[in-house]
Amino acid sequence: MAVNIAVIGGTGVYDPGLLSNARSEKITTPFGEVTICLGKSQDKEVAFVSRHGEEHNVPPHLVNYRANIWALKKIGVRNILATAAVGSLNPAMKPGDFVFVDQFLDFTKTRAHTFIEQGGLHPDMTAPYCAALRHFLSEAANRLNLRFHLKGTYVCTEGPRFETPAEIRLFQKIGGDLVGMTGIPEVTLAREAGICYACSAVVTNFAAGISTTVLSHQEVVAAMEKYQDNLRRLLSQVLILIDENRTCFCQASAFV
C-alpha cells in the first residue's frame, strides 16, 4: 500500500504514538538523507518525520526542510499534517488551543526556501495551507470537543532566539496571530512538491511582552507534554477522515 499521508512532528512531538508495526527507513535525496518512520494508523499507511530529530538536536534554522519534503514526495506522500508549538499574539488564542493556520508572514533570513532553479516559475500562495485538510482538522476537533480556531496568521521568525517584545508588537500590528520558527519554508516547499499541507499549531504560551514570565524552551516542551494527549487524539481522528483518493488544487500545483 502506498504511503499517502505524513505527519511532521515539531517541538515535543518526537514519537506521536500513532503508528503500529513501525519501522524506520532512510531516504536519500539530493539534499541529504532523511530518516522516516513508517507504520499503520487507522488502517492507513502513514509516515512520520521528526522535524528537530528524536533528541531535538536540530535547531529551527538548521532543519533540512528541502530534504524532508523531497523524501516524503519520493515515497508517494500527497498529504502532510504538520504540528507546531507556537506563541500567541492574539488574546483569543490561548494556551492549549489548536489553530489551523491559513496564512503566514515570513521573517526568516538564511534558509534555502525553494526547489526551483529556473526562471518563470512562481508558485501561487493565495491559499498556502490546504483548505481540505484544514476542514478535516476542524471536523476532527469538533468531534473531540477540542478548543480550536479555523484561521490564524503564523509569523515565522528565524530563531533560535525568541522574539523581542518590540518585534511582537510589530507582528501584531501587521496582522500576526501566532509566532513560531519552523513553518517556513516547509509549507512553500510542500506546495512546490504538489503535496497538500496543513499545520495544526498548538499554543503553548503567550509571546514575549504579553507573557508575564521570561520565555524558555523548557516551558514550551512542558506545555507540549501537557497537550500531547489532545494532539494525539486529534491526529488519530483526522486520519480517519482524510480521503486518500481525493484530488486537490495543491496536488495539481507541483513544480517538481
Q: Residue 135's domain spans which residues?
A: 5-115+124-243
How many independent structural domains does the chain possess?
1
Place of cell 508575564: 212
Per-residue pLDDT band at 109 (split at 50, 70, 90):
very high
Question: Does some domain include residue 255?
Answer: no
* Whether the predicted pLDDT of 13 surpasses 80: no
Q: Provide the b/e sequence for 98-137 (b: ≥16 CB within 10 Å).
A: bbbbbbbbbbbeebeeebeeeeeeeeeeeebbbebbbebb
Question: Does some domain include residue 254?
Answer: no
pLDDT of res. 55: 63
CATH number of residue 103's parent domain? 3.40.50.1580
Per-residue pLDDT band at 16 (split at 50, 70, 90):
low
Question: Does some domain include residue 252?
Answer: no
* Whether the predicted pLDDT of 174 surpasses 70: yes
pTM for the model stands at: 0.94
Place of cell 532543519: 63
φ, ψ for residue 205 (rounded to 5)?
Answer: -170, 165
